[in-house]
Amino acid sequence: MDMNSTPAQHYAAHHAELLGRYESVLAEQGLAGILIFAGAPRIAYQDDRTYPFMINPWYQQWVPAHDHAWSILVLRPEHRPRLICHQPRDYWHVVPAEPDGFWPTHFDIVSAGSPDEVLKSLPDSLAGFALLGEPDAALAALLPGAINPPGLVSALQFQRLYKTPYEVACMREANEIAARAHLAARDAFAAGASEFGIHLAYLESTGQTEALLPYTNIVALNEHAATLHYDACDRVQPPGRHAFLIDAGADCNGYAADITRTWPGEGETRFAELVGLLDDAQQALIEGIRPGQSYVDLHLGMHEVIGGILAQSGLVDMPPAEMVATGVTSAFFPHGLGHHIGLQVHDVAGKVADPAGTPLTQPEAHPFLRNLRPVETGNVFTVEPGIYFIDQLLEPLREQPAGRAVNWEAVAALAPCGGVRIEDDIAVTGDGVVNLTRLAFAGIDG
């Protein structure tokens, strides 16, 4: 795939691929058709405002829009896809724009001014149809017992493991947006901004609101990086600036980027060395990834590599293999190596063996690993090793025999930095991988 191509150049082939996938699944499931509901806004309890609207990812796989609340895509074998686009006559809120761009010509589009009109525009008979998405009560009443049939959902989720060139192009552009914003966040950190100020700099650079981002930004100064999903965003600058970890993404046509970078503060030489060692190890691992490998084995191998980094950094005096066997590396690296990414930042089907949804066995010692599948052409996943100084995990280690090998003075010296994580998004090709994240950063630096 040409990594300079745009989503628009690939959409027609993507649309055709989806038609083939869905028609095959419909035949296997014995269904006459599918309604894909974009979703409906939810009104806050005892209020007149809605929660931020999140569109159904199944809808966005076909339609690159975020504001199509109450719209429905109708799919039937041997019929052109019909898009019932909800465009309310409203002066209180912004109305979705007329469908435009590279995708509308692939649909028969019907404009509906209200939810009732949307329902009236559905096929006369819905016998044998299923609904995919989170339905409004009125819509659910039309298809009782046919809402998200498990067999249908499992089969379609499995297909999402294999990204089309259009989907990869969307994620490449999302990485470009996010990479620029990461550099803006780095500059804000260097200028002395608070976590909240850094977060605002990130949003301004992306041009995307918090509701549009694929997940809540993690903007962590100092020891806050030891909270893996830290989201407090302090408004006050800390007294010292030891380190900065940012885990933040961006959106392109409904597809996500997920990037983490860690920056040492001025004078934090030892922590800077740790960041450099982990960054080198992450890149070396990625360069060796090939189709057919086990992602679980990649995860286990990274544990041994992290053991080597802990030894080289003077943090633990123990052979790396023994660190893995005794759980030492898990105390410093408690999460999984990565996850599939796509329409959702933690994309679906990473723990199933087949289209029927047969679960794969979770390694007992690694309960948080999200991807248990083999590496295959068409996959896009993250690689995100980390080393952290988390009291809740390190204190029990101190009481174990293996804890005697830990240099607790060195750990205490680095603890104000919180931790380091490096995360890139990887697209698997027939003979290797393309690092979408490094490609994005290189394009900026170039």
pLDDT tens-digit readout, 76-99: 999 999 999 999 988 788 888 899
Residues 144 and 190 reside in one and the same domain: no
The average confidence (pLDDT) of the chain is 96
Tell me the pLDDT tens digit for each residue of 173-189: 999 999 999 999 999 99
Structure tokens given for 45: 């309890």
Structure tokens given for 305: 């590599």
Residues 194 and 235 reside in one and the same domain: yes
Does residue 53 lie within any of the structural domains? yes
Q: How much is the average pLDDT of 115-128? A: 95
- The alpha helices in 313-399, defined as continuous H runs, are 320-325, 328-332, 391-398
- Domains of the chain: total: 2
Q: How much is the average pLDDT of 195-200? A: 98
- The alpha helices in 317-356, defined as continuous H runs, are 320-325, 328-332
The torsion angle over the Cα atoms of residues 243, 404, 300 and 367, rounded to 10 degrees, is: -80
Q: Write phi, then psi, for 97 (nearest 5 degrees).
A: -70, 160
The count of other CB atoms within 10 Å of the CB of residue 354 is 11
Residues 95 and 228 reside in one and the same domain: no
Q: How much is the average pLDDT of 223-231? A: 97
Residues 225 and 291 reside in one and the same domain: yes
- Coil/strand/helix, residue 413: helix
Q: In terms of Cα–Cα distance, which of 37, 32, 28 is closest to 124?
A: 32
Tell me the pLDDT tens digit for each residue of 145-154: 899 999 999 9
Residues 205 and 129 reside in one and the same domain: no
Residues 330 and 391 reside in one and the same domain: yes
Distance in angstroms (rounded) separating the CA atoms of residues 307 and 317: 10
Q: Write phi, then psi, for 111 (nearest 5 degrees).
A: -90, 130
Residues 32 and 176 reside in one and the same domain: no
- The alpha helices in 263-367, defined as continuous H runs, are 269-287, 295-312, 320-325, 328-332
Which structural domain range is residue 123 located in? 7-148
Does residue 260 lie within any of the structural domains? yes
The torsion angle over the Cα atoms of residues 159, 162, 167 and 168, rounded to 10 degrees, is: 170
Residues 210 and 130 reside in one and the same domain: no
What pLDDT band is residue 431 in, cutting at 50, 70 and 90? confident
Residues 91 and 215 reside in one and the same domain: no
Q: List Cα–Cα distances, 12 to 34, 36, 109, 430, in angstroms.
A: 21, 19, 17, 22
Percent of the chain scoring above 90 in pLDDT:
93
Q: In terms of Cα–Cα distance, which of 132, 111, 114 is closest to 57?
A: 132
pLDDT of residue 97: 87
Does residue 133 lie within any of the structural domains? yes
Per DSSP, 68 falls in state -
Does residue 159 lie within any of the structural domains? no
C-beta of residue 205 within 8 angstroms of C-beta of residue 230: no
Residues 108 and 232 reside in one and the same domain: no
Task: Check pLDDT > 60 for residue 64.
Answer: yes
Bridge-based pairing state of the strands 386-388 and 419-421? antiparallel
Q: How much is the average pLDDT of 233-261? A: 96
Single residue among 148, 180, 211 that ends a domain in this structure:
148
Distance in angstroms (rounded) separating the CA atoms of residues 72 and 37: 5
Q: List Cα–Cα distances, 407 to 157, 193, 276, 278, 312, in angstroms.
A: 46, 33, 20, 19, 12
Q: How much is the average pLDDT of 314-319? A: 98
What pLDDT band is residue 446 in, cutting at 50, 70 and 90? very low
Give CA 286 to chain center in angstroms.
Answer: 18
The count of other CB atoms within 10 Å of the CB of residue 114 is 14
For tokens 């993404």, the residue is 249
Percent of the chain scoring above 70 in pLDDT:
99
Quote the longest CA-to-CA distance of the chain.
Answer: 73
Residues 169 and 140 reside in one and the same domain: no
Distance in angstroms (rounded) separating the CA atoms of residues 142 and 151: 20
The count of other CB atoms within 10 Å of the CB of residue 276 is 13
C-beta of residue 254 within 8 angstroms of C-beta of residue 170: yes
Tell me the pLDDT tens digit for each residue of 330-386: 999 999 999 999 999 999 999 999 999 999 999 999 999 999 999 999 999 999 999
C-beta of residue 39 within 8 angstroms of C-beta of residue 134: yes
Residues 133 and 176 reside in one and the same domain: no
Q: How much is the average pLDDT of 253-271? A: 97
Task: Check pLDDT > 80 for residue 190.
Answer: yes
What pLDDT band is residue 2 in, cutting at 50, 70 and 90? confident
- Coil/strand/helix, residue 193: coil
Does residue 155 lie within any of the structural domains? no
pLDDT of residue 135: 87
CATH number at 45 reads 3.40.350.10
Distance in angstroms (rounded) separating the CA atoms of residues 116 and 338: 43
Distance in angstroms (rounded) separating the CA atoms of residues 393 and 25: 45
pLDDT of residue 1: 62
Q: pTM of the prediction? A: 0.96
Q: In terms of Cα–Cα distance, which of 261, 89, 243, 121 is closest to 184?
A: 261
Q: End-to-end alpha-carbon separation of the chain, Å?
A: 21
Segment among 10-24, 38-52, 217-231 with least mean pLDDT: 38-52
pLDDT of residue 91: 79
Distance in angstroms (rounded) separating the CA atoms of residues 178 and 206: 7
CATH number at 312 reads 3.90.230.10
Tell me the pLDDT tens digit for each residue of 268-291: 999 999 999 999 999 999 999 999
**Backbone angle region of 39, left / alpha / beta, with phi > 0 → left and psi within -120 to 50 → alpha:** left
For tokens 């199933």, the residue is 352
Does residue 418 lie within any of the structural domains? yes
Does residue 106 lie within any of the structural domains? yes
Single residue among 116, 148, 180 that ends a domain in this structure:
148
Single residue among 97, 117, 148 that ends a domain in this structure:
148
Residue scoring higher pLDDT (164 or 1) = 164
